[in-house]
Amino acid sequence: MLGWAGGGDRLGRMRYVEPVFRPPSEAESYLLPVTTGCSHNRCSFCAMYRGKRFRVRPEREVLEDIAMAKETLGDVRRVFLLDGDAFVLSAAKLLPVLSALKAAFPSLNRVGSYVNAGNVLSKTDEELRSLAEEGLRIGYLGLESGDPDVIAHCDKGATVDEMVVAVGRAQAAGIRMSVMGLLGLAGAEGSAAHARATARAVNRMQPRYLSLLTVSPVPGTPLCEDAEAGRGRPPSPKEALRELRWIVQGLELTGTIFRSNHASNYLPLAGRLPADKTRLLRTIDLALAGEIALTPEFLRGL
């Protein structure tokens, strides 16, 4: 999954291994490191944790952090577990952390984590339900693409089918899932197939939240090396917009909050699906016709 630089947020730089990433919707959350880095750390487009060796923090350290946060912050409503896939921890390791958070923060109403398919599939339904009951209520999963060839090429570490099953099982257990797709990941040539397959995979998932971000080749990643070597052409802003339109057009969702207003996108969009589908498509059409200005390249962020 792509992430967003969050810094130490409200706790300054206390016991964080920088850089720290979190989803935009966790901007107000207390960020609690339970792991460092990403257990997979191989996706071709991602440089977020390349400088960090994956490690699980000892429970003693995590519990000390919670006590410190209680002293510094008083009460908090939301907690986000760091780092790249804190959900890799077994239920036996996560449950005491969730219990300590509940005990420390009486107003706590949700704990979130980045989630990989394997993190979910390695847990039983009962374990997933216990985690949700103990407060783990939202997981952020990078689908990136519904196209199996694109997923294999970017070394995602899970198949599309596995990601679909993981989202279904997590949601059935009470963990709301926020799924991310990456515009431009298949280059200009693979754009139409990537869009069609991504819409199909998202339809099978029926996630509570869906965000689409736009890929940018980050130096030091295999994706950037491919781009520099001329292997595949990244889509132009207009081609990325057309890809966005194909995906939105193909979505058949029953109750999803949709966002493509991340700093990496050329056109910020937000709405609820299915209610806002026609409005979203009309906005994309206006942008394609040049009647709405796109975010210029120099203002796009990762």
Q: Minimum distance from CB of 185 to ligand SF4 (Å)?
A: 11
Sign (positive/negative) of CA torsion 30, 35, 39, 41?
Answer: positive
| Positions in 29-68 near ligand SF4 (CB under 6 A) | 38, 40-43, 46, 48-49
Per-residue tokens: 37: 């880095």
What mask of x and - would describe binding to ligand SF4 in positions 204 to 233, judged by CB under 6 A?
Answer: ------------------------------
Q: How many residues at the interface with ligand SF4, by CB under 6 A?
A: 13
CA distance 113 to 302: 20
48 or 100, CB closer to ligand SF4?
A: 48
The HSE-up count of residue 62 (CA atoms within 13 Å, CB side) is: 26
Of the candidate residues 1, 100, 150, 186, the single one contacting ligand SF4 (CB under 6 A): 1
Q: Determine contact, residues 147/190, Cβ cutoff 8 Å.
A: yes
Q: Determine contact, residues 283/292, Cβ cutoff 8 Å.
A: yes
Helices (H), 83-124: 91-104, 117-121
| Positions in 108-137 near ligand SF4 (CB under 6 A) | 116
Of the candidate residues 6, 142, 190, 235, the single one contacting ligand SF4 (CB under 6 A): 142
Q: Minimum distance from CB of 265 to ligand SF4 (Å)?
A: 18
Per-residue tokens: 198: 């991504």
2 or 240, CB closer to ligand SF4?
A: 2
Give the orientation angle of helix 160-172 with respect to helix 191-205, to 10 degrees: 30
Q: Minimum distance from CB of 110 to ligand SF4 (Å)?
A: 21
23 or 237, CB closer to ligand SF4?
A: 23
CA distance 78 to 68: 16
Binding site for ligand SF4 (CB under 6 A): 1, 38, 40-43, 46, 48-49, 84-85, 116, 142
